[in-house]
Amino acid sequence: MSDPNPSNIPLPPPPSDKEVNEAFQQIHELGTATESFFSRLYDNFTKRNELKKAQASLTLAQHQLHQSLNEKQRLASLVQNKQSELNRLYRILSRISEGIIMQDVKGRMVMINDAARQLIGSERNFWKSELGTLFNDYKDIQDVDSELALLGEPSQVEVNGHVLEAQLTAVGDSAGQRLGTIIIIRDITRDTLASRIKNSFVSHISHELNTPMNVMRVASEILMNQEENEPPNRRMLQLLSRNIDILDRMVDELLDVSEMSGGTFSIEAKPMLLTPIIWQVKETFLTSIAGAGLYCFTMIEHEESLTITGDDKRLEWAISHLVRNAIDYNERGGLVEISAGIEDNGEDSYVVLTVRDTGVGISPKDQANVFELFYRGEPITRSGKRLDPRGLGQGLYIARTIIEAHGGSLHMSTEVGQGSEFTVLLPYRAQPALAS
């Protein structure tokens, strides 16, 4: 057997139990420390991964936020551009002469330009009139073939005393989806009036010419059937002469009307006294006044001082038309009042002539057009009867044109059911040689 310690080196004594326990304790503590180290190391690795994930999430969120901000800026820019385009469209629409009303897809009014507001008066008038219901006829149409698509034929409606032509147009986007409706309105009151006047003129002129022609025909037949040696029937001759004068006057008036409408009308003015003309006009209509069951009252102040410079023939026509209207648009038992005098406003003096009646008056609808050539209103009596007096509807047009040609003016005051008053102002011209 070999010697385990050949060099005879003294061996250390075996460890005691205490030393062994201390060694195990150190090993245990080292293991615990190692475990704690690796645990902390693992935690650090885990936290680092979580941090990386958090950083990645933050980076993604920042990217998404950046994209969102860019999109928001893009949308804001788009909205601003659209608003600018809309404002420009509003400015354009506000300047055009046609009335423009815009409605959204539900029919709510979103825009009305100045021209439309002037025609219809207010949004309340729009909704109360037929204009406010036109949208309902096409509200179910959602798809349109183009950005602007006509909806039906133009409609004719009456709003605020105007006759309007309304055309509906659907507004669509590039995809053909309906965005709203535009109503384009145009004032055709004058066109409608002109058409009505044209249609009625022929029948009325025929009626006006037919009356004196019939009288002349009867009178001429009576004269032709007389015996050769029989003295002429003076009454028939007077009828012929009177109705020839009527026809002659009608022709002269129509010629004057032609000159008035053509802007070539003129008067032959000379110093004159207006009083004799007033009395002559009254004398002319006395039979008509009595036949209509009316009363006539005349009051002239300063009879010998109503001096002017004028055309006596044309002024007689003008005053005659005023008196004739006072008779034709009156009712039995009514009054026709003619008054005249001189008025001084401190700077100028005028001869003032007033023709007043207690007749049916003029409706607000007709008041705006009574001075139009050949316009005939639709007067209604207090009992509801519609009046249809003779005449072509040129009387007030002629009267005003003649009076204005004398440097004067014609004013109207009227109330339905109460009557009308027409006041003539003519420049006063002192004429000592004519005044007594």
Q: Say whether both 207 and 108 belong to one domain.
A: no
Is a pLDDT exceeding 70 seen at residue 431? no
343 and 297 inside one domain = yes
* pLDDT value of residue 402: 92
Average pLDDT, rounded, for the chain: 79
pLDDT in the model for residue 51:
67
Domain membership of residue 7 (yes or no) is: no
Residue 3 located in a structural domain: no
Does position 351 have pLDDT exceeding 90, yes or no? Answer: yes
Range of the domain at 111: 97-187
Q: Looking at 95, 114, 142, which one is the last position of a domain?
A: 95
pLDDT at 427: 93
User: By C-alpha distance, which of 183, 167, 86 is closest to 126?
Assistant: 183
Of 26, 60, 95, which one is at a domain's C-terminal end? 95
Q: Are residues 107 and 126 in the same domain?
A: yes
Q: Give dist(CA 97, CA 89) in Å, integer.
A: 14
12 lies in some domain = no
Same domain, 199 and 317: no
Q: Quick one: 421 exposed, middle or buried, by C-beta within 10 A (0-12, 13-18, 19+)?
A: middle
The per-residue pLDDT for 89 is: 65
Domain limit, last residue, from 187, 209, 224: 187
Asked if pLDDT for residue 191 goes beyond 80, the answer is: no
Straight-line distance from the first to the last Cα atom of the chain, in angstroms, rounded to the nearest whole number: 189
Confidence of residue 326 (pLDDT cuts 50, 70, 90): very high
Asked whether residue 89 is assigned to any structural domain, the reply reads: yes
Q: In angstroms, how far is CA 236 from the centroid of its own chain?
A: 56
Is residue 257 within 8 Å of residue 397, measured between CB atoms? Answer: yes
Highest mean pLDDT among 21-35, 99-113, 247-261: 99-113
- How sure is the predictor about 358, in pLDDT bands with cuts at 50, 70 and 90? very high
Which residues, 6+ apart, have CB-to-CB distance to 101 below 8 Å? 109, 111, 112, 113, 116, 126, 131, 182, 183, 185
- Within this chain, do residues 274 and 417 fall inside the same structural domain, yes or no? yes
pLDDT per residue as tens digits for the range 244-278: 877 777 777 777 777 777 777 788 889 999 999 99
**Are 51 and 146 in the same domain?**
no
Q: What's the CA angle centered on 335, arms 332 and 341, to 5 degrees?
A: 160
* pLDDT for position 348: 85
For residue 371, the 8-state DSSP code is: T
Alpha-helical (H) ranges within 165-311 are: 189-224, 234-262, 275-291
**Higher local confidence (pLDDT), 380 or 280:** 280
Radius of gyration of the chain (CA): 50
Q: Which of 18-27, 40-49, 88-97, 289-298 has the highest mean pLDDT?
A: 289-298
> Distance between CA 120 and CA 236 in Å, rounded?
58
Do 219 and 183 share a domain, yes or no?
A: no
Q: What percent of the chain has pLDDT over 70?
A: 77
Other CB atoms within 10 A of residue 53 CB: 10
Residue 149 covered by a domain = yes
Domain holding 123: CATH number?
3.30.450.20
What's 239's domain CATH number?
A: 1.10.287.130
The model's pTM is 0.54
Residue 81 confidence (pLDDT):
74
Which amino acid is located at 288 in the chain? S
Question: What average pLDDT does this structure show over 31-59?
Answer: 68
Q: Which of 27-31, 230-234, 290-294 has the highest mean pLDDT?
A: 290-294
Domain-located, residue 54: yes
Mark whether 283 and 396 lie in a shared domain: yes
Q: What proportion of the chain, given as a percentage, has pLDDT over 90?
A: 20
pLDDT at 33: 64
Would you mind telling me the total number of residues written for the chain in this entry? 436
Give me the number of domains the chain comprises.
4
